[in-house]
Amino acid sequence: MSSKAQSSPFHTSAHDAISACFLGPRAENFAILEELFHGALADHAQTRIDYKPGDGDFITSSMQATEQFQSTTDNLRTQAKYVSDLLNTYSIPFFSTRYMGHMCMETSMPSMLGWMITILFNPNNVAFEASPITTLIELEVGQQLSGMLGYTEENNITPWGHIATDGTVANMESMWLSARNLKFYPLSIHAAMTKDDMPLAFIADSFTVTTCDEPNTPQLLCQLSPWQLLNLTPDIVLGIADRLAADYGITSDFLAKALQPYLAQTTGKDKLMKMYEIETEPLYLISNTKHYSWPKAAALVGIGSENCVDVKVDNNARVDIDALTAHLQDCVRVKRAVYAVVAIIGSTEEGAVDPLDQILALKPQFAEQGLSFLVHADAAWGGYYASMLRERPVPMIGLPKEGEDPDRDFVPSITLRDSTVDQFKALARTDSITIDPHKAGYIPYPAGGLCYRDGRMRFLLTWSAPYLHQGDKGESIGIYGIEGSKPGAPAVACYLHHSVLGLHKEGHGALLGEASFTCRRFAAYWSAMSDDTTDFIVVPFNPVEKESDKTIIRERILGKSNEEIVDDTEAFNVLRTLGSDLNINAFACNFRINGKVNDDVEEANYLNNRVFSRFSVTSPKVDPKTVDLFLSSTVFAQDDYGDCVRNFQTRMGLETDSRQDLFVLRNVVMSPFQSAGDFVQTLAETFQAGLEEEVKNVVARNTVSPQIHDFTMQGIHTLYLAYCPLFYHVNGRQQLILSVKFSSAISATEYKVARSAHPNVPFKLSTHGKTTIDDILSAKKLVGDITAGSTVRIPSVTFTITSVVKDRPLNSRWRDQKYPGGYTPFYLYGSQTEQHVDHMLLRAPNAQITSDLITLNCQPALTADQLARGVIAHLNRPEDVMQPLTSDSAAFFKPGTSFNVTIYADDNAPDAHGPGLSTGGQEIAQGTLSLGRAVFYDSKILNTEDFAATGVRVSRYTSTKMSDSIREEWHTVVRGALGIARGAAATK
């Protein structure tokens, strides 16, 4: 088969059909959408006109002519225009082919139209009688999604699905089902047979079930142990109500009354656990790259987030099967039940698909050992990719004629990798699946979804007994699940989109296939954009399979047209191997200085943060129209990614000993238009140009160059200089303490006089000209200007360096991973008549706290040698509770403040690096320490994060959260716009 055939023989007509379903990056289909909207509004208006025309008009033309009516409608126009202008001015252009940040793109025209048509009626799908049409449409959408995902009717068991607000609610519902209801339902049945009034005692000596470890041996349910009851398989549990009805004639009403005192919904699962002496909460097992909704759901449904156990991931960010197996084996060993194992089908950060087929293979393996659990697929992002596997019910018409050449906008579709296809085929064997139409379904927010392989599962979500006829077609969806009122509009939006485009490989599957092709093209650039000769380095999270593939990428993919790639079988096959499982490319950048690869994680994070800030809107001060392309970012935290992130850092040339988190860039591809006209190359070139500029900034701050350097001056008779460092610039990245003496007696006298006149003011020394710290230390002298406040200035004073007390590097790899707990460490040094302290800077951010002429009372007294060498003082105030230290924290270190102190020997060399320096050596003294009259405190300059002369400003290199100051900027913009609108309205 040729590569062109692999890319799909219906690419041309499919792209044409897909293009008809979107407004378009430049509103190319505006006339069509306007026509559709106008027609829908006109139809709705006619419906109102035709209903009981004899009732007459209630809003008359005379009312419409009044001043009050006109004033209100004018105000409506004004308010609407302000909101419209606000959105159009500041909103991110998700519709643009230049946007490839988050899982956002314009929604399809069918879905927008379905939403608008329905919202005019505003039906509530909580009850059938309130929304018969949209309820039945939602049930149909549930069947459409179930079918697309692979669920089919088997043995009279019908799958069932419904629309939820979002994936978070759907995940919570699935957890509620397995946690509070399904897992404990057998205990409820057992209790009704054996506890209190025993309403089901009459069936106790005859009602049997099979256990997961003995599936061919029926046993009396009343004789099962709590462990066995907790591990009945889902099909056995879900069949209990039907069997009670068929074998004993027990009605749904009687069963509801009999179980009511014992159901987890009524008593809470904790009461059942206590009744059956179950001491440990069952577990939920999910990879540690899970969506944040899972621990939230565990807290809300009463499981507790600590019982939502993280399972480590492999180097591709997929769940590690060996680690999962070990967790399950531990559960068997200690007899701890498991609610469910969750497989992520398309992680939101990396686009990774867990090995679902291997997870499902664990079910029978552990069932033999007596452990049963559900398997839930979190396919919120990935679910719609199942459409790429489904055949079209009716052959597609309008295929391109044999030999017909594609036009400029030829956009091929690409299939999923075989390994990924296997996981989507395995979806049919899961117990439940979360899917988000408002993600890869191109449906307006909010529209999540949840599907059950066995539709009877939904009955466990009601407040009645879990027994209801399967054939009920008039059910009220609202009794199932968490939500109360729920809009009918999302269901209609889904239905119209599904109906127009089709949930198959020639419809929605082709749409995602085109986006997948584009995603692979971007992956090609991230894989081969840089080489050994470039100052910049781009490393994709998902590496190329073979190093030799980079040659094919550079020569036969980069810069080539879509058609050239499709016609080149070998190149096309290489392209298929690139990138993640599902349309997300995570990648990161690094840099070289004079050919040497940077190994500092913090500096790589800085570079990536600057690139992200350049290609995003992080402040209302940035006009979206000036941003050339949009990326998103994430953080690969050590606690979550472990060996996975360290492997990635190693591939980037970074050190891994410091266990720092990694700031990562992402591009998410949803648009079917980015590959048209080879626009991918335009975007890649735009990215590279921006990256090259940002590399210059990061190289500049990592290149030693002459600067003005500042010190705080300590002492009067014996002088010390405590350097004012910078965490984030190579020219100040060290904690330096020098013992010096004046080269001129005149200068020394002038200094002493000034100190006597200004005892409460910190004295500062600034180098007289630009120099480097290395030059100062090698020359063993420096020339500087002394200042104190606004009145003291002693220029051009020369000092001789007599000793180096400390010259400790502050590079990120040498910092501690945690702030000290239980104490705040200081370097303590000086003479027996004058002692001084400088706060140990162990972790960033931090604050420099320097005081000279402290009062030290300790036993035993420190020797002259100890003070000259320097010791470590632990002030009895926990540093970790104060961090991050800010300017407000200075109040804790006011002049004269006293602390209990424990003093330790400092056995480290002056230039010893961390981590782990603060503990010191042997304890040598205890006592009190009072700060001097002049305390220098700085938490601003030390923590300055960006020194670039122009362009974006970045901070918080390993955080993707918006800072408080940026949030306030957005508040100001929105409040200002709405305030203008209110002011305009008030004048009417």
**Which pLDDT tens digit goes with each residue over 715-762?**
999 999 999 999 999 999 999 999 999 999 999 999 999 999 999 999
Per-residue pLDDT band for 619 (boundaries 50, 70, 90) equals confident
Per-residue pLDDT band for 960 (boundaries 50, 70, 90) equals low
Encoding tokens for residue 392?
């079209």
Distance (Å, whole) CA 896 – CA 31: 75
CB 274 within 8 A of CB 264: no
Averaged pLDDT, 893-904 = 97
Query: What is the number of alpha carbons within 13 Å of residue 373 lying toward its C-beta?
Result: 31
Q: How far is CA 380 from the centre of its chain?
A: 14
Backbone angles phi, psi at 872, to 5 degrees: -115, 125
**SS (HEC) of 291-347:** CCHHHHHHHHCCCCHHHEEEECECCCCCECHHHHHHHHHHHHHHCCCEEEEEEEECC
Per-residue pLDDT band for 948 (boundaries 50, 70, 90) equals low
Per-residue pLDDT band for 607 (boundaries 50, 70, 90) equals very high
Instruction: Decide if pLDDT at 490 tops 80.
Output: yes
pLDDT in tens, 227-258: 999 999 999 999 999 999 999 999 988 998 99
**Residue of 823, 535, 805 whose CA lies nearest to 697:** 535
The amino acid at residue 525 is: Y
CB under 8 Å to 246, separation ≥6 — which residues? none
Averaged pLDDT, 539-553 = 95
pLDDT in tens, 675-722: 888 899 999 999 999 999 999 999 999 999 999 999 999 999 999 999
pLDDT in tens, 797-814: 999 999 999 999 999 999
Rg (CA), the chain: 34
The amino acid at residue 719 is: L
Averaged pLDDT, 348-371 = 97
pLDDT at 14: 85
Per-residue pLDDT band for 469 (boundaries 50, 70, 90) equals very low
Residue recorded with tokens 């007294």: 861
Averaged pLDDT, 19-26 = 95
Per-residue pLDDT band for 399 (boundaries 50, 70, 90) equals very low
pLDDT at 471: 43
pLDDT at 726: 96
Per-residue pLDDT band for 409 (boundaries 50, 70, 90) equals low
Pick 958 or 326 by higher pLDDT: 326
Averaged pLDDT, 109-125 = 95
pLDDT at 959: 62
| Helix 508-528 with 11-19: angle, nearest 10 deg | 100
Instruction: Decide if pLDDT at 771 tops 60.
Output: yes
Share of the chain above pLDDT 90, in %: 79
CB 449 within 8 A of CB 165: no
Mean pLDDT score across all residues of the chain: 91
Encoding tokens for residue 497?
């989109």
pLDDT at 966: 72
pLDDT in tens, 284-341: 999 988 888 888 888 888 898 899 999 999 999 999 999 999 999 999 999 999 999 9
Beta bridge partners of 927: 858, 901
Residue 784's H or E segment, with its range, is: strand 781-788
Strand extents, DSSP E, 123-251: 160-164, 208-211, 214-220
pLDDT at 155: 86
Q: Is the pTM of this model over 0.75?
A: yes
CB under 8 Å to 979, separation ≥6 — which residues? none
pLDDT in tens, 842-872: 999 999 999 999 999 999 999 999 999 999 9
CB 316 within 8 A of CB 256: no
Averaged pLDDT, 429-435 = 97
Encoding tokens for residue 622?
């940035």
Per-residue pLDDT band for 529 (boundaries 50, 70, 90) equals very high
pLDDT at 980: 60
Distance (Å, whole) CA 279 – CA 818: 34
Distance (Å, whole) CA 763 – CA 782: 16
Distance (Å, whole) CA 822 – CA 836: 22
pLDDT at 954: 54
pLDDT at 293: 86
**SS (HEC) of 40-92:** HHHHHHHHHHHCCHHHCCCCCHHHHCCHHHHHHHHHHHHHHHHHHHHHHHHCC
pLDDT at 136: 93
Instruction: Decide if pLDDT at 7 tops 50.
Output: no
Instruction: Decide if pLDDT at 642 tops 80.
Output: yes
